[in-house]
Structure 1
Amino acid sequence: MSFASWGNALYSGRKSYKFIDNRKYLLIAGVALMLISVLAISVLGLERSIDFKGGTEFTISSVAGRDQAPAQKVVNANPKLKGSSVNSVGASSIRVQSVSLDTTAKRQVVSDLAKAYKVPEAKVAATTIGPSWGADVTYKALQSLVIFFILVALMLWAYFRTWTMAFSALFALCHDVLITGLVLALTRVEISPATIIGVLTILGYSLYDTVVVFDKVRELSVDFEQQTRSTYGEIVNLAINQTLVRSINTSVVALLPVTSILLISWITLGGGTLRDISLALFVGMIAGTLSSILIAPSMLMLLRSRTEKISSHTQKVLEKRAGGSDQIEGQAAELSRVAQPLKAGHHQGQQAQPKRTPRSKR
């Protein structure tokens, strides 16, 4: 079966994956991952960049290769540089980040690094970021996340006119943020302003994916309580299957350039801003795609299945099926909601015209 045929089968309902039937397991797995993420972030912590925690940064440019050993020797020999990090930046630069140093100590480090790499002192740049600046950047980053979540909640409530969809979408966004944080904590990649930009970007991407699924749910569930062929859970499951191919295509197209940037920045350039933002995008897009398909609809069904409207309708459908008065069963009931697929190259032509009575028999 080709990908196009597979997608056609999903959309028409001839093929269906039982996402909603397994919603409890999906939610348990999602919540477990979120708890593991919180635990890992709490124990390991996030490696904040100098932009957030403040300190002094030394950048040695015009270095032949990306050998970090000379800089590491300087760090080990200077007690004031204890706990400093050494990283390669780009193809010919080395970066050393330490706690805030006074002017005298800073000049000494510049001199030592210049001698270690046999470059003029002019090639060693020293920048100091105060703790107040770092605290302000941290506050702004957290503030932007809070504002984003508030605006998302208001927008979803206004668009869908139901708090269950808004809550489910926010739950999926929290899942994406925590999974991204888990990967950042495990890889020890620094959290920089570029990382925050990447996180906000993937939140928007994940939200868009979730809204597409929920919009399809709303479309298929219009006046659903007036029929007894499909339960609300079957309608939600059909909506997921109908948008599955679109979600896969969008994710693959978006991940291809992000993966290229991530590999180039990590392997060739050795890190930096491109790596920070591309890693957050890479992890967040994968988590966002999965959450929009598996987590958000499952949470929506968990919340709505407890309402009187949904539970009574589901009971009515199941009773009618058990009584044998409804000949349409399971997913076959969902086929009535979508157009039947046409065979390529085939049309009814004149067969679609009404039959006419011969002139002699009029």
Structure 2
Amino acid sequence: MGKFSRYGNALYGGQRSIDFVGRRGLWYSITAVAVLASLAVIFIKGMNFGVEFTGGTQVRASMPAAQVTQDNADAVREAIVDEDIEGVDSPTVTTEGTSAIVVEVGEVSDAASDRIGEVIQETVPETTDLSQTEIGASWGREVAQQALTGVAVFLVLVMLFIWGYFREWKMSIAAMVALFHDIIITVGIYALSGFPVTPSAVTGLLAILGFSLYDTVVVFDKIRENTHELRKSGETYAEAANLAVNQTLVRSINTGIVALIPIGAILYVSAVQLGASSLQDLALAQFVGMAVGIYSSVLLAPRVLVHLKGRESAIQLADKRARSRAKANADRYATVPVFAEDMPVQDESDPEFEDGAEEEIRVTRASAPPRAPEASGRGRVVPPAKGEVRQSGASGRVQPTRQTRSKRGPK
């Protein structure tokens, strides 16, 4: 753990750096493949909408708490499938706390609904009460419309918030790209799992959007801090943004792990031990969305932001200045002039070229004018004497003589 902490400190201080922003082709390729694969799953396999969205019949069988187990729920599901009831293809059987087992199917006739109740009683004889609820398709469409409206309002508010906080519309665009990426991949994996789409799944989708946005805002805030004064820092915009990603990397990983561990535990318990339940719908959407959100906030959103900002003339000028400064610091002799044909050379009639001496071309360079003689040990130029200068016996050195006032000339 100490080694990981030291590595994180090195990333934050800039002693170590992982080139996240510079690998544009890699991250764009991974993102494009993941998004296209998710869209293919969504359109080819389709979503398994629950009865809340499509309408159908819900049969609730009350029984003693000792009988409300996952084994009995699985037995009821197998019995209904084996019965081959008309209109019942893939029933959803879940436990409702410790009081009942709930069977959900599509729209079926009254006879088929009654037969489902009989199968439940035959499978679990301790059933005390049966109740049936018809869910209309119009109510399901209303739920779906409200869910889409909620997502649209959320995205609009996110754009306004980021634009108002950072005063930068390009950051809003980059954040939206990351959010759409998270939504599409989460929905694609959800469709691939075959889990029914319920209101719990929609709730989980909205929750993971908030998590992804929070992580993206943290990274963008660090980018804004690092790129506030590019002229003084001597870095390009991409280098400053990459440093910000490295500085927030450990925080993003730690936050993601802390969030994924409990959600993963809920998903395992609800899917494996409790069987199909509303908890697994919520947990799957949150688990996938949070994992994808870490990727988008660290790798995708900063890369899109750098891509958009790189088109600004001010950023291009600052980047050019920073690259020139870096080149000069790396090679101090890069600015030394090289030999050219039109440079002045020493005359070949110089005696140095006579008597078969080796021919040598000397490049003459402009130099500063000769300096005046300096006072010994003083580091400054000796001012010219105003009068006669001669040896002084008293001081033991050369000094200007002083004439009487009558012999001095006019001032």
TM interval, shorter chain, is 0.7 to 0.9
Change (3 A) 1:268 1:61: farther
**Residue 72 of structure 2: SS of its match in structure 1?**
coil
Is contact 1:34-1:179 (8 Å) kept? yes
CA–CA separation in structure 1 for the residues paired with 2:109 and 2:284: 34
Change (3 A) 1:136 1:91: closer
Which residue number in structure 1 is paired with residue 223 of structure 2? 217
CA–CA separation in structure 2 for the residues paired with 1:322 and 1:78: 77
| Counterpart residue type for residue 244 of structure 1 | L
Change (3 A) 1:167 1:181: same
The answer to whether residue 207 in structure 2 is matched with residue 190 in structure 1 is: no
Which residue number in structure 2 is paired with residue 146 of structure 1? 152
Q: Paired residues, what number?
A: 325
Of 181, 203, 215, the residue aligned with 1:175 is 181
Is contact 1:111-1:121 (8 Å) kept? no
Between structure 1 and structure 2, the one with the greater Rg is: 2
Q: TM-score, normalised by structure 2?
A: 0.74
**Residue 227 of structure 1: SS of its match in structure 2?**
helix
**Residue 191 of structure 1: SS of its match in structure 2?**
coil
Identity over aligned pairs, percent: 36
Which residue number in structure 2 is paired with residue 231 of structure 1? 236
Change (3 A) 1:74 1:242: closer
Which residue number in structure 1 is paired with residue 50 of structure 2? 49
| Counterpart residue type for residue 72 of structure 2 | R
CA–CA separation in structure 2 for the residues paired with 1:71 and 1:293: 43
| Counterpart residue type for residue 19 of structure 1 | F
Structure 1 residue 228 displacement after superposition = 6.5
CA–CA separation in structure 2 for the residues paired with 1:96 and 1:323: 74
Of 273, 284, 287, the residue aligned with 2:292 is 287
CA–CA separation in structure 1 for the residues paired with 2:217 and 2:86: 52
Give CA-to-partner distance per residue, 1:102-157, whole Å, 9 cap, x none.
445433332233123324461x3322110110000010111111111111011111
Which residue number in structure 1 is paired with residue 378 of structure 2? none
CA–CA separation in structure 1 for the residues paired with 2:77 and 2:170: 55
| Counterpart residue type for residue 117 of structure 1 | V
The answer to whether residue 152 in structure 2 is matched with residue 125 in structure 1 is: no
Of 101, 113, 122, the residue aligned with 1:115 is 122
CA–CA separation in structure 1 for the residues paired with 2:12 and 2:218: 14
Higher relative contact order (CA 8 A, sep 6+): 1
CA–CA separation in structure 1 for the residues paired with 2:62 and 2:203: 27
In structure 2, the gaps of 5 or more residues are 333-411
The answer to whether residue 256 in structure 2 is matched with residue 251 in structure 1 is: yes
The answer to whether residue 10 in structure 2 is matched with residue 9 in structure 1 is: yes
Structure 1 residue 261 displacement after superposition = 1.2
| Counterpart residue type for residue 159 of structure 2 | A
Q: TM-score, normalised by structure 1?
A: 0.83
Moved more, 109-118 or 246-255: 109-118
CA–CA separation in structure 2 for the residues paired with 1:67 and 1:61: 12
Which residue number in structure 1 is paired with residue 20 of structure 2? 19
Which residue number in structure 1 is paired with residue 347 of structure 2? none
Of 275, 295, 303, the residue aligned with 1:298 is 303
Which residue number in structure 2 is paired with residue 32 of structure 1? 33
The answer to whether residue 206 in structure 2 is matched with residue 206 in structure 1 is: no
CA–CA separation in structure 1 for the residues paired with 2:296 and 2:249: 12
Which residue number in structure 1 is paired with residue 371 of structure 2? none
Is contact 1:90-1:269 (8 Å) kept? no
Which residue number in structure 2 is paired with residue 271 of structure 1? 276
Is contact 2:223-2:241 (8 Å) kept? yes
Of 162, 166, 169, the residue aligned with 1:160 is 166
Change (3 A) 1:71 1:281: closer
Give CA-to-partner distance per residue, 1:196-232, whole Å, 9 cap, x none.
11111110000000000000011111122x2362101
Give CA-to-partner distance per residue, 1:135-191, whole Å, 9 cap, x none.
000101111111111110111111111111001011101111111112111111111
In structure 1, the gaps of 5 or more residues are 328-362
Structure 1 residue 67 displacement after superposition = 5.3
Change (3 A) 1:271 1:79: closer
The answer to whether residue 101 in structure 2 is matched with residue 83 in structure 1 is: no
Is contact 1:86-1:94 (8 Å) kept? no
Is contact 1:71-1:113 (8 Å) kept? no
Structure 1 segment 271-350 matched on structure 2, within 5 A:
271-324=276-329
